[in-house]
Structure 1
Amino acid sequence: MKSLRVLVLEDHDFQRSFAVNMLRQLGCQEVFEAVDGAQALSVLDKVGKVDIALCDLCMDGMDGLEFLQRIGHSALVHSVIISSSLSADLRRTVQQIVSLLGLKMLGDVGKPMKAPALNNLLKEHLCGSGVVSPACAPVELANEDEVRGALRKQQLKAWYQPKVNLSTGEVEGVEVLTRWQHPASGILSPAVFMPVLEHCGLLDELLFAQLDTSLRLQQQARSDGFVLNLAFNLHVTQLINSDLTSIVKRILKLHSAAGSSLTFELTESGLLESSVTSLETMVRLRMMGCQLSIDDFGAGFSSLQRLCQLPFNEIKLDGEFIRTLKHEPRCRAAISSTLALGKSLGMSVVIEGIENKEEHDLLLGLGCTLGQGYFYARPMTGEELLRWLPARAGSGNKAEM
Structure 2
Amino acid sequence: MSINVLIIDDSLSCCQLLASYFNTLDVNQVDYCHEGGKALSRLAANRNYYHILVVDLHMPGMDGIELLSKLARIGFRGGVIIASAMESRIIETASEVVIGSRLRLLGALMKPICRAQLQICIERLLMMSPELVSPKRPMKLESLKQSIIHRRVVPYYQPQVNINTGRIEGFEVLCRMQQGEQLKLLTPDFFIELAEQNNLLNAVSEQLIDGALDEWGDIERHPDCSLATLSINLTPKQLGQSYWPSRLKHFCEQHQVDMGRVTVEITENHALDRQSQHSGISRLRLHNFGVAIDDFGTGYTNLTQLCRLPISELKLDMSLVRGIHMDPLAQTILKSLLDIGNQLGVKVVAEGVEDPRDFAFLENVPDLIVQGFLVCRPKPFGELMRWLNVRRKVGQNQKVISLQTAAPH
Give the TM-score of the pair, scaled to structure 1.
0.67
Q: What do residues 335-393 of structure 1 show as CA deviations (whole Å, max 9, x unaligned)? A: 11211111011111111111133322311212242110111001111111111112112
Relative distance call for 1:262 and 1:131 in structure 2 (3 A) is closer
Q: Distance in 1 between matches of 2:300 and 2:113?
A: 36
Find the counterpart in structure 1 of residue 166 from structure 2. Answer: 169
Find the counterpart in structure 2 of residue 230 from structure 1. Answer: 230
Q: Alignment partner of 2:353: what SS?
A: coil
Q: Distance in 2 between matches of 1:301 and 1:282?
A: 16
Find the counterpart in structure 2 of residue 154 from structure 1. Answer: 151
Q: Alignment partner of 1:293: what SS?
A: strand
Relative distance call for 1:186 and 1:52 in structure 2 (3 A) is closer
Q: CA deviation at 1:242?
A: 2.2
Q: Distance in 2 between matches of 1:52 and 1:200?
A: 37
Q: What do residues 156-194 of structure 1 show as CA deviations (whole Å, max 9, x unaligned)? A: 211111101111212121100111222447222211101
Q: Which amino acid aligns with 1:167?
A: N
Check whether the contact 1:215–1:255 (CA below 8 A) recurs between aligned residues. Answer: yes
Find the counterpart in structure 2 of residue 254 from structure 1. Answer: 254
Check whether the contact 1:351–1:368 (CA below 8 A) recurs between aligned residues. Answer: no
Q: Which amino acid aligns with 1:142?
A: M
Q: Which amino acid aligns with 1:229?
A: T
Find the counterpart in structure 2 of residue 3 from structure 1. Answer: none
Q: Distance in 2 between matches of 1:237 and 1:111?
A: 43
Check whether the contact 2:124–2:320 (CA below 8 A) recurs between aligned residues. Answer: no
Give the TM-score of the pair, scaled to structure 2.
0.66
Find the counterpart in structure 1 of residue 142 from structure 2. Answer: 145
Q: Distance in 1 between matches of 2:145 and 2:151?
A: 10
Which stretch of structure 1 is more off in the superposition, 364-373 or 178-187? 178-187
Structure 1 residues 163-202: aligned runs within 5 Å: 163-183=160-180, 184=182, 186-202=184-200
Relative distance call for 1:201 and 1:330 in structure 2 (3 A) is same
Aligned-residue RMSD, C-alpha:
4.3
Q: Quick one: higher RCO (CA 8 Å, sep 6+), 1 or 2?
A: 2
Check whether the contact 1:268–1:303 (CA below 8 A) recurs between aligned residues. Answer: no
Relative distance call for 1:359 and 1:251 in structure 2 (3 A) is same
Q: What do residues 72-104 of structure 1 show as CA deviations (whole Å, max 9, x unaligned)? A: 99xxxxxxxxxx9967979xx9xxxxxxxxxxx
Q: Distance in 2 between matches of 1:370 and 1:272?
A: 24
Structure 1: runs of 5 or more not aligned? 1-34, 42-49, 66-71, 74-83, 94-107
Check whether the contact 1:264–1:292 (CA below 8 A) recurs between aligned residues. Answer: yes
Structure 2: runs of 5 or more not aligned? 1-12, 40-48, 51-82, 96-108, 403-409
Q: Which amino acid aligns with 1:243?
A: Y
Identity of aligned residues (%): 27
Find the counterpart in structure 2 of residue 273 from structure 1. Answer: 273
In the alignment of these two chains, the number of paired residues is 318
Find the counterpart in structure 1 of residue 362 from structure 2. Answer: 363
Q: CA deviation at 1:257?
A: 1.2
Check whether the contact 1:271–1:306 (CA below 8 A) recurs between aligned residues. Answer: no
Check whether the contact 2:123–2:319 (CA below 8 A) recurs between aligned residues. Answer: no
Relative distance call for 1:312 and 1:52 in structure 2 (3 A) is closer
Q: Alignment partner of 2:170: what SS?
A: strand
Q: What do residues 279-301 of structure 1 show as CA deviations (whole Å, max 9, x unaligned)? A: 33222211111100011112114
Structure 1 residues 4-15: aligned runs within 5 Å: none
Q: Distance in 1 between matches of 2:124 and 2:327?
A: 18
Find the counterpart in structure 1 of residue 308 from structure 2. Answer: 309
Q: Distance in 1 between matches of 2:148 and 2:368?
A: 36
Q: Which amino acid aligns with 1:274?
A: R
Q: Distance in 1 between matches of 2:266 and 2:339?
A: 21
Structure 1 residues 197-346: aligned runs within 5 Å: 197-225=195-223, 226-227=225-226, 228-276=228-276, 278-346=277-345
Check whether the contact 2:153–2:207 (CA below 8 A) recurs between aligned residues. Answer: no
